[in-house]
Chains A and B, each alone.
Chain A
Amino acid sequence: MAGLTLKSIVKRYGNAEPTLKGIDLDIRDGEFLVLVGPSGCGKSTLLRTIAGLESITSGELYIGDKLVNDVHPKDRDIAMVFQSYALYPHMTIRRNMAFGLEVRKMPKDEIDALVAEASSMLGLDDFLDKLPKQLSGGQRQRVAMGRAIVRRPQVFLFDEPLSNLDAALRTQMRVEIRRLHRKLQTTIIYVTHDQVEAMTLADRIAVLSGRDKENGTKNAGYLQQVGTPLELFQRPVNKFVAGFIGSPSMNFLDAEIREVNGKKVVRVDGDNTIELDENCASAVTSGQNVCLGIRPQNVQLADSAHPANFTVNVDVIETLGWESHVHFRLGEAPFLAVLEAQKVAHFVEDQKVGLYISPSVVHLFNNDEHGTAIAHGKQDEKEAKAIIDSAKNSEE
Chain B
Amino acid sequence: MAKQEWVEDSVGLNKRDRWIKQIAYNLILIIVCIAVLYPVIWVVQMALTPNEMAGLGGGFSTDKLDFSNFEYVLCNPDANNNNECRFLFFYQLKNSIIVSAITTLIGVLLACTAAYGFARLNFAGRQMGLQAFLVTQMFPGVVMMIPLYIILGKIGLTDNVYGLVLVYSVSALPFCVWNLKGYFDTIPKELEEAAIVDGASRARIFVTIVLPLARPAIAITALFSFMTAWNEFILAATFMNNEINYTLPVALKQYIGDQSVQYGYFAAGAILVSIPIMALFFALQKHLVGGLTAGSVKG
Contacts and interface: CB of A to CB of B under 8 A. Distances in A.
The answer to whether A and B come from one shared complex is yes
A271 to B, nearest CB: 54
Contacts of B190: 82, 84, 86
A137 B213 CA distance: 21
Contacts of B209: 88
Contacts of A80: 193-194, 197
A2 B46 CA distance: 80
Nearest to A78: B197
A89 B197 contact: no
B8 interface: no
Contact of B296 (A52, A89, A99, A134): A89
A147 interface: yes
A40 interface: no
B204 A53 contact: no
Interface in B263-277: none
B197 A85 contact: no
B156 interface: no
Interface string B280-299: 00000000000111111110
A100 B196 CA distance: 9
Contacts of A226: none
Contact of A103 (B188, B204, B291): B204
A140 B194 contact: no
A108 interface: no
Contacts of B200: 74, 99, 103
A83 B296 CA distance: 11
Given A84-B190, A86-B194, A103 B199 contact: yes
B199 A89 contact: no
Contacts of A90: 212-213, 292
A135 interface: yes
A64 interface: no
Interface string A46-67: 0000011100000000000000
A104 B295 contact: no
Given A84-B190, A88-B209, A89-B213, A99 B195 contact: yes
B194 A82 contact: yes
A90 B216 CA distance: 13
A78 B194 CA distance: 11
A325 to B, nearest CB: 31
Contacts of A78: 197
Contact of A147 (B188, B198, B204): B198
B286 to A, nearest CB: 15
B188 A84 contact: yes
Nearest to A99: B198
A396 to B, nearest CB: 21
Nearest to B215: A90
Contacts of A74: 196-200
A132 interface: yes
Contacts of B292: 89-90
B134 interface: no
Interface in A106-137: 131-135, 137
Contacts of B297: 82, 84-87
Contact of B191 (A79, A88, A151, A164): A88
Contact of A86 (B204, B213, B294, B296): B296
Contacts of B197: 51-53, 73-74, 78-80, 100
A74 B198 CA distance: 6
B196 A53 contact: yes
A137 to B, nearest CB: 7
Contacts of A52: 196-197
Contact of A85 (B198, B213, B298): B298
A137 B196 CA distance: 23
Interface string A309-337: 00000000000000000000000000000
B96 to A, nearest CB: 34
B288 to A, nearest CB: 16
Given A79-B197, A85-B297, 20 more contacts: A80-B193, A84-B188, A84-B297, A84-B298, A85-B296, A86-B188, A86-B191, A88-B195, A88-B209, A89-B294, A99-B200, A103-B198, A103-B199, A103-B204, A104-B199, A131-B295, A132-B295, A134-B295, A140-B295, A151-B198
Interface of B: 188, 190-191, 193-200, 204, 209, 212-213, 291-298
Interface of A: 51-53, 73-74, 78-80, 82-90, 99-100, 103-104, 131-135, 137, 140, 147, 151, 164
27 contacts: A53-B196, A74-B198, A80-B197, A84-B297, A84-B298, A86-B188, A86-B190, A86-B297, A87-B295, A87-B296, A88-B191, A88-B194, A88-B296, A89-B296, A90-B212, A90-B292, A99-B195, A99-B198, A103-B199, A103-B200, A104-B199, A132-B296, A135-B295, A140-B295, A140-B298, A147-B194, A151-B198
